[in-house]
Structure 1
Amino acid sequence: MSTTPQPTGQCNIYLNLEQEPEVTEEGLSIALGYLYSSVTIRAITSQNARSVLAAGCLLGGMDELCNYAYEICRQSITVENISTWLQFVDAVPAPSDGTSTPIEQRQMPPQTAIFGPFAQRLREDVFDFLVVTLPQTLNVGGLSTPISPHPDGQPSDAGRDTLLQIFALVPFDMFKAAVESPTFQIVGSDQARFKFAKDAIDLRKRGIARGQGAEETVVLAFGGHNGGSTVHVTRKLRKRPLWKVNA
């Protein structure tokens, strides 16, 4: 963003929005309108909130607007749009406390850097949605969850099946953290969490993990975990095949 002074005392403001794909014309229009009247805050909806937040962070000095847009974003995370939010958080680097399996660290890409601290807050909101809200919403393992026939003849939990389809799309670092979290009690036992992770990894092999040159696995530890997680997800690079050349 740059400004050019004019002879009349006015300034032209140039915004290079090509480098900020999160900022749309609608979001920028609402943010600029907020400079003149706080009434424009009423134009923020679940559809444009993230763009307004990005525009507000870009322009700066709009704490009320940004906090309001962020809250709309947080409340708008649903089963229907979770795939879009997963694409967003995939660009937000995961924090590391040094206690989990090392995960490849990346620099924050430009499309999420614009959000500043809101990027990490949104990432945490998506994580909480996956671990707490989503299993409850889908009533995973609940008595009222619709049951349908499974190809192998076993009853299928429709809520669990939907949760599996969603977790098959979750970026690895968040998938690992979610499955290993004791808060993620889909049925209330470590064995159920382990079985869920195993089924999800089978789906991920045909989707998000395909072609990455890495293999995801899950193990269940027994005893001596002192209240920690007994379910552990790891990812390791596949060994390249060795070719023997006869001289």
Structure 2
Amino acid sequence: MDYRHLQNRKSMHGRIVQELGIEIVKGTLAPGERLPAEPVLCEKYGVSRPVVREATRVLVAKGLVTSKPRVGSIVRPREHWHLLDPDVLYWTLASIPESDFFHSLLTVRRIIEPAAAALAATEASDEDLARIRVAYERMAGADSADGLLEPDLEFHRAITAATHNDMLAYIGNMMSLALSESIKLTSRHPDTHALSLPRHKAILTAIQNRDPLGARQASLVQLENALVDADSILEVGSRSVR
């Protein structure tokens, strides 16, 4: 996946944020451990204290560290990290096996997406149904795996929006980046278009028919099949590097 090519940070504070962030996510700097002292970081990167402090503030905002006077900056336990923050997500993706990321995300998707599809089946307005249908039609009209990505994301965003539940819609938007990486993985399957369309059509049809149980089941089936597709891709990849 292209997430492994981390961004080249032009600013020094951005470089410090990225390097420390990666060390935290990889476990080189463990929860409860202090970050190197400001003078050490200033000397290492050739920057002033304000630059180091700005980098620390960014890490605090991402939930990775807590900073206290006369104590310093301490790495926080993983459950406090903002894992869907774009930077934290990319650092995580770069530091764990691809299969671990996919399976972790799929567990979350199994909890959220079937429930959202079921709720959309009862709460969607005509405008919501049209938005979901248009996203599906754009998927059907895509002529490449790359062209399938954005309408696939929009399909799932449209469903969470159709629940008219602000928290679900927010969670759906926050997960968009992680979901896009999941879709990129499954789109490497040679038959991705032929496999994906009927699964999404089943979800659309159930929502249009105001069938919450059918929508929930169709969503679960889509996720289970995505798991099968991804595992086959990852197995092929592991064999190719042996």
TM above 0.5, yes or no, is: no
Q: Radius of gyration: which is bigger?
A: 1
TM norm structure 1: 0.29
TM-score, normalization: structure 2? 0.29
User: In proportion to residue count, which structure has more helix?
Assistant: 2
Higher strand share goes to which structure?
1
Higher relative contact order (CA 8 A, sep 6+): 2
